[in-house]
């Protein structure tokens, strides 16, 4: 059996790159917005005025993704801001994935601008994987007019970490025998799934680098972070065993998020928002005739610090209530009590077939909830989203974006 070879292909500053490609196609003589300080940003009036993507020159001014546009403008008064166009992004993402599928036997899209490619056993076709990665990167640049980073390793985790090394337009490897040299010197904040609150707690435990985390006591980490402590210890040692999904619906993940009109500090209020988001996500999963087995919660606090936790469910599901119960557990693990500006839910590892870990007391309940969810979906589709409401939303409605 050949050793696994996994690519992680990540579009460099995707939203801004795709906007640049469109503008140059419309006017070849215009300036490339990637060559001067520029960002893609939302609406300040709706509290969506944050940096969604930035050019390399903007990065040199210290501008960061997720920070308020007002802060970015103070750092660079000449900054150019362009509004997001999600229809364009969806079209460019589809072109990106179609090109990958032309060359790669197995492609797994993990977001709109990144994908895993299973290159195992393709040596006789393409030769050295690193050399082929350079050719693939250059082909994307020549045909689609934007650049990517490609990370290469034996599993998805290390390939993703490698693609985050020096940017843009680069190929990096992070094989198991390179972990100590390339991964361990990095700060813990750079490790996948270590958010701001987790990093802060790790620092309080005297753990500042990924190498220090890799050598930490597992019992201590589990005591401090519960199951997430076990996960990040494995990640720091390059251990990630989940295989590429081989069959799934067209949409591989489903998400919904809300930038709150005012910062939230009440956990009950936050969980009402989570329930509203889970209703949206659950309806999208059911509309695709899919079942999901991974749930993730994202929190952005009033200081624009991002944190997220995810969990694998014991059974795949399309039931809103099961997604919500998992989301609440993740929220409790993730939230450090800072005022909340944004909440997000995503559900992934979608399959067309369900599998169930049977529980004598819960199976019948969830089957009934599944039928009830489907009935409510039908009513809302026919008569509008407000035709049926949960009682907790009648006095305190929550709107989704």
The domain locations on the chain are 15-86, 184-236, 254-393
Which one has a higher pLDDT value, 300 or 314?
A: 300
Task: Taking residues 361-388, report their average pLDDT.
Answer: 60
Stated as kind and residue range, the H or E segment containing 108 is strand 107-111
pLDDT tier at 249, thresholds 50, 70, 90: very low
pLDDT tier at 393, thresholds 50, 70, 90: low
The arrangement of secondary structure in 15-86, i.e. its CATH architecture, is 3-Layer(aba) Sandwich (3.40)
List all residues 6 or more positions away from 235 whose beta carbon is below 8 Å from its beta carbon: 157, 191, 192, 193
| Least confidently predicted of 35-49, 148-162, 168-182 | 35-49
Residue 96 confidence (pLDDT): 95
- Which one is catalytic: 19, 114, 240, 321? 114
Residue 360 confidence (pLDDT): 45
pLDDT digits (tens, 9 = 90+) for 64-109: 887 888 889 899 999 999 988 878 888 898 899 999 999 998 898 8
User: Domain 184-236, CATH 1.10.150.20 — does that match?
Assistant: yes
Task: Taking residues 258-285, report their average pLDDT.
Answer: 87
| Least confidently predicted of 38-52, 81-95, 268-282 | 38-52
> Do 249 and 286 touch, CB atoms closer than 8 A?
no
The arrangement of secondary structure in 254-393, i.e. its CATH architecture, is 2-Layer Sandwich (3.30)
Closest CA to 341 of 300, 397, 293: 300
- For residue 97, give Cα distances in angstroms to 23, 102, 113, 245, 356: 22, 9, 9, 16, 31
Q: Are strands 148-153 and 51-54 parallel, antiparallel or unpaired?
A: unpaired
Q: Known catalytic residue: 142?
A: no
Torsion of the alpha carbons at 233, 343, 196 and 108, rounded to the nearest 10: 50
Residue 246 confidence (pLDDT): 42
Residue 333 confidence (pLDDT): 87
Same fold, 184-236 and 254-393: no
Residue 250 confidence (pLDDT): 44
pLDDT tier at 227, thresholds 50, 70, 90: confident
């Amino acid at each position: 059996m050949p050793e696994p070879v996994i690519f992680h292909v990540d579009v460099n500053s995707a939203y801004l790159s795709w906007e640049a490609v469109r503008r140059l196609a419309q006017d070849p003589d215009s300036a490339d917005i990637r060559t001067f300080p520029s960002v893609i940003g939302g609406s300040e009036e709706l509290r969506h005025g944050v940096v969604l993507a930035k050019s390399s020159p903007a990065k040199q001014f210290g501008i960061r993704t997720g920070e308020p546009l007002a802060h970015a403008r103070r750092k660079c008064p000449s900054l150019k801001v362009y509004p997001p166009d999600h229809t364009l992004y969806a079209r460019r993402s589809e072109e990106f994935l179609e090109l990958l599928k032309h060359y790669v036997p197995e492609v797994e899209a993990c977001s709109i601008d990144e994908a895993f490619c299973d290159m195992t056993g393709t040596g006789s076709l393409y030769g050295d994987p690193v050399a082929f990665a350079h050719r693939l990167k250059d082909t994307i640049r020549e045909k689609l007019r934007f650049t990517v980073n490609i990370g290469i390793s034996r599993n998805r985790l290390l390939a993703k970490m490698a693609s985050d090394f020096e940017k843009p337009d680069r190929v990096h490897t992070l094989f198991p025998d390179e972990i100590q040299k390339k991964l361990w010197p990095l700060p813990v904040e750079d490790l996948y799934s270590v958010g701001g609150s987790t990093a802060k707690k790790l620092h309080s435990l005297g753990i500042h680098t990924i190498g220090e985390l890799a050598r930490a006591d597992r019992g201590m980490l589990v005591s401090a972070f519960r199951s997430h402590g076990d996960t990040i210890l494995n990640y720091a040692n390059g251990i990630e065993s989940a295989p590429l999904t081989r069959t799934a619906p067209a949409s591989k993940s489903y998400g919904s998020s809300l930038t709150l009109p005012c910062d939230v500090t009440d956990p009950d209020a936050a969980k009402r928002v989570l329930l509203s988001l889970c209703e949206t996500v659950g309806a999208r999963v059911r509309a695709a005739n899919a079942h999901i087995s991974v749930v993730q919660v994202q929190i952005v606090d009033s200081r624009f610090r991002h944190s997220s936790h995810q969990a694998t469910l014991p059974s795949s599901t399309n039931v809103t209530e099961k997604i919500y119960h998992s989301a609440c557990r993740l929220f409790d693990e993730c939230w450090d009590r800072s005022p909340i500006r944004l909440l997000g839910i995503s559900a992934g590892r979608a399959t067309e077939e369900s599998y169930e870990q049977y529980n004598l007391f819960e199976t019948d309940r969830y089957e009934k909830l599944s039928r009830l969810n489907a009935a409510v979906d039908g009513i809302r589709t026919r008569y509008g989203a407000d035709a049926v409401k949960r009682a907790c939303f009648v006095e305190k409605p929550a709107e989704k974006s």
